[in-house]
Amino acid sequence: MPDSPVRVRFAPSPTGLLHIGGLRTALYNWLLAEKTGGTFVLRIEDTDRARFVEGAEEDIRESLAWAGLTIAEGPLAGGPHAPYRQSERSSLYKDAADRLLASGDAYIAFDTAEELDAMRERLTTKENPSPRYDRASMTNSLTLGEEETQARIARGDEHVVRLRVPEGETVTFIDLIRGEVSFETSTVDDQVLVKSDGLPTYHLANVVDDHAMEITHVIRGEEWLSSTPKHILLYRALGWAPPALAHLPLILAPTGGKLSKRNADKLGIPVNVRDYVAAGYEPEAVVNWLAFLGWNPGTEQELFSLEELAEAFSIERIGQSGVQLSMDKLQWFNGQHLRALAPEAVAERASGAVGEKYGDIDRQRLTEAAALLHERLDLARDLADAGYLFEAPQAYDEAGVKKRWKEDSAALCRAYADRLEALDAFTLDSTEAAMREMAETEEVGFGRIVHPVRIATTGTMVGAGMFDTLVFLGQDESVARLRRAADALG
């Protein structure tokens, strides 16, 4: 356990619905805090006003709550380091930018968008497809001098503040997942720290806030790894010690390659947490599935509650390599977690989908239906697909009829209906005994009766146990369905 109390943060931008990859990042941060008795902070990085989406912050909070990730400090939770929205922390960023300018670790640049485009075009080559800002040839305080710089600022010329990356150095840091990582400063751009509208970019605000909020561990996606040397240089210039850093492996598409919105849509993979909620996935299953997209417990155990994940979690068990996302695995996790629920809970979850298809179903009846199919459901809403539990079949599976409905099937169904109608007790044992006695009397195989009976009573070839289904339907309904199918199919 770390010497000082762990403080981690999840710092999304409110530019849209929370992505499933964002939830994984939040989960790993939350698990470390929970494991160590630390603090999980939600910080909203809303300085990019052009991409701000109304309602996105609310979606972030709702998604975290759905997954069971409680927020110790944040915009609504409050805390000793409030405010927790970057748009409300402007004075901190200005102070830091002024310090960097005063120390010479940052400078002012007046280049227009057109001038920057021309620079990139001039410097772009096959070997250098993404050229760095060429400070020596551009319009900035380093080339203009102090007097001209101040004159331009005084007359209101638009400008930005850029990081002055030192030449000829190697920036080295320890990543808790990847070990020692080094970048040559020749590959690091003079990043914009303060935009022309006076708002900080992610890089400056991120460093200032992590320091001010006493964040001890930064756990974030691999896509931020290349930005880390800029952050290390900022920490150094401001005289602050950086937090421990861990960059999570990429989530890959099932076909390989980074999972993007485009290929996710093409493959039918939900992108946003809200999509998983709408699809009826259990939050415990989604959390369990996400935990294994990069981490493993080092044991054979796969099914974990959130509390068990927190107890087992360690950064050391997170791998470096990208992990392919599998919706089949999520389906499996969901089925396992669903089967751990009581039938009453499954019925509650399925009620909306069932009601939409079949109208208002008595809750006790719905609970009995959930119990009947409990071991077969991957999603609670799939109960609505078992229509035969709620209404008589209107049609019969053509492939099943072709394969299993023989010339004597109608007669056998009628005969079995007669036997069922005569039963004093309609139970699992009595309905099965009636069929076995009939098979012996008629001198036919058991399957010669059971398959047509299933088609007649359910309209399908798959479902719950045959005799469980008959008892659920009840004596009168079972007999009626058998005779109706015998007449319809002949």
Q: State whether 358 and 469 are in the same domain.
A: no
Q: State whether 244 and 294 are in the same domain.
A: no
Angle, in degrees to the nearest 10, between helices 475-489 and 409-421: 160
3-state class percentages of the chain: helix first, strand second, coil last, to nearest 5: 55, 10, 35
The radius of gyration computed from the CA coordinates of the chain, to the nearest angstrom, equals 32
| Structure token digits, residue 1 | 């356990």
Q: State whether 107 and 243 are in the same domain.
A: yes
Element (H, E) at 183: strand 179-184
What CATH code is carried by the domain that includes residue 320?
A: 1.10.1160.10
Residue 272 lies in a domain: yes
Residue 425 lies in a domain: yes
Residue 408 lies in a domain: yes
Q: State whether 437 and 330 are in the same domain.
A: no
Pairing of strands 106-109, 160-163: antiparallel
Q: State whether 358 and 410 are in the same domain.
A: no
Residue 137 lies in a domain: yes
Q: State whether 93 and 242 are in the same domain.
A: yes
Cα–Cα distance between 139 and 116 in angstroms, integer? 10
Residue 189 lies in a domain: yes
Which residue in 261, 266, 403, 406 is the catalytic one?
Answer: 261
Indicate the residue among 219, 248, 277 that finishes a domain: 248
CA angle, 390 as apex, 279 and 401 as ends, to 5°? Answer: 95
- In the numeric block, the tokens 């000793």 are attached to 80
Sign of CA dihedral 451, 457, 461, 464: negative
Q: State whether 141 and 205 are in the same domain.
A: yes
Cis status of the peptide bond prior to 75, with omega within 30 of 0: no
Task: Specify the DSSP class assigned to residue 221.
Answer: E
Q: State whether 122 and 236 are in the same domain.
A: yes
DSSP, collapsed to helix, strand or coil, labels residue 456 as helix
Cα–Cα distance between 63 and 23 in angstroms, integer? 8
Cα–Cα distance between 136 and 158 in angstroms, integer? 19
Indicate the residue among 220, 248, 276 that finishes a domain: 248
Indicate the residue among 248, 276, 301 that finishes a domain: 248
| Structure token digits, residue 271 | 């992108």
Cα–Cα distance between 428 and 255 in angstroms, integer? 47
| Structure token digits, residue 280 | 């009826």
Q: State whether 412 and 476 are in the same domain.
A: yes
Residue 44 lies in a domain: no
Does residue 445 come out as left (phi exceeding 0), alpha (psi in the -120 to 50 range) or beta? beta
Q: State whether 220 and 289 are in the same domain.
A: no
Cα–Cα distance between 9 and 75 in angstroms, integer? 12
| Structure token digits, residue 78 | 């409050």
What is the identity of the amino acid at 153? I
Q: Which domain holds residue 407?
A: 398-489
Residue 261 annotated in ligand binding: yes
Per-10-residue mean pLDDT of the chain, 490 residues long, equals 81 95 98 98 91 94 98 97 96 97 98 97 93 96 97 97 97 98 97 95 96 98 96 98 97 86 86 95 98 96 97 97 95 97 96 94 96 95 95 95 95 98 98 97 94 97 94 98 95
Q: State whether 410 and 375 are in the same domain.
A: no
Residue 323 lies in a domain: yes
Cα–Cα distance between 109 and 375 in angstroms, integer? 65
Pairing of strands 217-221, 106-109: unpaired
Cα–Cα distance between 126 and 128 in angstroms, integer? 6
What CATH code is carried by the domain that includes residue 124?
A: 3.90.800.10
* Catalytic-residue membership of 126: no
Give me the number of domains the chain comprises.
4
Task: Convert 78-98 to b/e letters by CB count within 10 Å (16 or more is b).
Answer: ebebeebbbbebeebbeebbe
Element (H, E) at 207: helix 202-212
Q: State whether 365 and 313 are in the same domain.
A: no
CA angle, 242 as apex, 236 and 244 as ends, to 5°? Answer: 150
Pairing of strands 179-184, 251-252: unpaired
Q: Catalogue the long-range contacts made by 226-229 (C-beta closer than 8 Å, 24 or more residues apart).
A: 226/183, 227/203, 228/173, 228/181, 228/183, 229/171, 229/173, 229/183, 229/185, 229/188
- Give the pLDDT confidence score for residue 3 in this predicted structure: 60
Task: Specify the DSSP class assigned to residue 175.
Answer: E
Cα–Cα distance between 237 and 99 in angstroms, integer? 9
Residue 21 lies in a domain: no
